[in-house]
Structure 1
Amino acid sequence: MCFFKSLTASYDDLAFYYGNRNLDHLVKEFEASFQSIQNHVQPIREKLSVLMDRDPQLAQLSLMQPNQLYNQLLSYSKKAGRPAVYTQQDVTLMKRYLRDIERFQPSGISAYYENGFDLFATPVLTAGDPENYKMFHWGLVPTEVPDKNAWLDEKERLNAKSEWVPMSDDFRHTFEKGQRYLIPVSGFYEWRTLDEEVGDEDAKIKIPYYVTFRDQKPRMMAGLYSRWRNPLTNEFYYSYVLLTTKANAILEYVHNTKKRMPVFIPQEQWSKWLDKTLSPRESLQMCQPYLDPDMRAYTITKLLSSNDAHRNVPHVRYPMNYNPAIEQAIYFLQAGNHKQALEVFREAVARSTANANQIDIQHLELAARQPIIAELSLAA
């Protein structure tokens, strides 16, 4: 399954959808497409600014310095350090606003880490309007649902198995109506489990991976979208669900418990996927394991799993070699002492994490270009 993804690209990069299309007014279409992002960001920016103005220390910080601002908000999360002008709910809301708007920069998108459970809006291209990016929230709410929040609270709505969609009460109607979309991504995050037979999730040794592409260019994931209307306000909520399929060879190794991967649509089939006349049967046939030879996977630091840190930063996906930690834990793992293996592994990782600060973007680029065999042997 896919619950965490990444998109770091300039707006010029995101115009790649238009690259193979003959549009008479390309520039006009392009500008209109990204206006939806500004329409989404501006009211959130204004709400955050109003809250920040209550506190002189926050008021002097700039939204252009999200790391500094987020760290200050983290210190306010503790009651002892929180100014009297804020409640805990205020601080939580400011952190959410900041995480949302900091992804969108003047020149492009910098979403190094996107958590699907945040339900943030992301630019997508839909079959209903394939010429323009629209802002849709991750976590699909079907048109016929009476209560959006109750629906999203009931269970996870981020992914849907493509093979099951035609029989699913949750997504069948959306699928049959041809409400398909494409979403640009630079990569996504998954975990490999070293001790699969352990029933307790907290006792398992898991290695985080970043799955990306050697050329560092975005690719298009695919799924279904919906437009839900609030019966009380008549306002619309636009949302989507990612489709998944059987894993390719790389994801069979990385996502070794479920052996699934998101559906990717190759560039030569983008227009076909967004064609409203495409039949449901044909669209299912397109949901195949992605065989892009540029796909790469490498082990990354544990920052991805840290709840008390700012994670939308470049080094969330920097490489880390887990071989020393694995070697120290493997003896206990093979002996069936999973608790001791996990403890030894965590201690070894904690010691090696200190080296993560010395990693820079060149390491990421180098790792993304390594042969597949080296990556799959955990040699990041």
Structure 2
Amino acid sequence: MSQLTFHWFLPTNGGDGRQVVGGGHGVEAGPSGRPASVPYLGQIARSAEQLGFEAALTPTGAWCEDAWVTTAMLSQVSDRLKFLVAFRPGLTSPFLAAQMAASFQNLTGGRLALNVVTGGESAEQRMFGDFLDKDARYARCDEFLTIVRGLWTGEPVTFEGEHLRVQDAVLQQLPSPLPQIYFGGSSPAAGAVAAKHVDVYLTWGEPPAAVGEKVEWVRKLAADAGREGKVRFGIRLHTIARATSEEAWAEADRLLAGISEDEIARVQAGLRKSESVGQSRMLDLNQGSKDGLEIHPNLWAGVGLVRGGAGTAMVGSYAEIADLIEQYRAVGIEEFVLSGYPHLEEAYWFGEGVLPELERRGLWSPPGPVRATTPPLPFGGTVAAS
């Protein structure tokens, strides 16, 4: 039985708080109670590695702190946790990106993974000086990853494409081990790039049947590209885990009560301008309404009312969420990139509640150092009388 991998999230996109922090995908981030800072993000990173998460995703874009700089700083206040650094290939030359990745990997002892974000919003891309349209951005991404992977072999690379060109490029310091490349996208152009280059294809949290269709789509594309069995699959979700189902749904109701109709209207109007096919699919799940948000048992679309990108959350008891995770595993998902509001507290609810349940089921094992002799108490549990 294959083991599952779990990652957490660093909220550099507007900070963190006890309500859903909206924004993203071209929409200005809403206010938060906990601005992103090295001390606070460091708390989240240290907690995530102590709880058994493998890595932490850091987003990219005009609406958040720079992922490379932020994670390099956080690597010095944590020990084991890897960083899933999101970056846009059109904004950095392939040689410099390959060099940056090698430096990060070698200086942190192998704690880098890369989340390649092609960029779904042309207006935002133009802020960075990138004036290509969406299809051209994917074509450039293909060239970019071809060059970077070539450079990581240590052999000279000469490449002349429609968008990128290098001549006799040799990377002196090679990354060890090679960083894993994560990538998401729901358009035909995205699927072609994923099939050819990536190690892990990421999808946002749609119901398991829809996720299974995307997994099979990319699997077939990868096989056609000569990479059968070379692509693993992950999912990006929020989580609200509690000892009982009633407590979890009460928390979801509290978050929903904190979202105003005016905020929904403002953010939805902005998100519907997105060129991202995946973002459109997220919006279809919530329909801009507070009604009917449980779109599959224990899968709630409320976050996507005011947040771009990942808009669904697993909500329920520890066992119910473990059951839903098993449903995703059944359709091919092996890695889970999770988050919750606030990110510090929700890491503990999941890490001390759901992960032990998955360990009991033989689906997960702690990746960190030898565990303490005293077993962890599930978050929200009670100590039995002696």
TM-score (norm 2): 0.27
TM-score (norm 1): 0.27
Give the strand-richer structure, 1 or 2: 1
Q: Which has the higher contact order (CA 8 A, sep 6+)?
A: 2
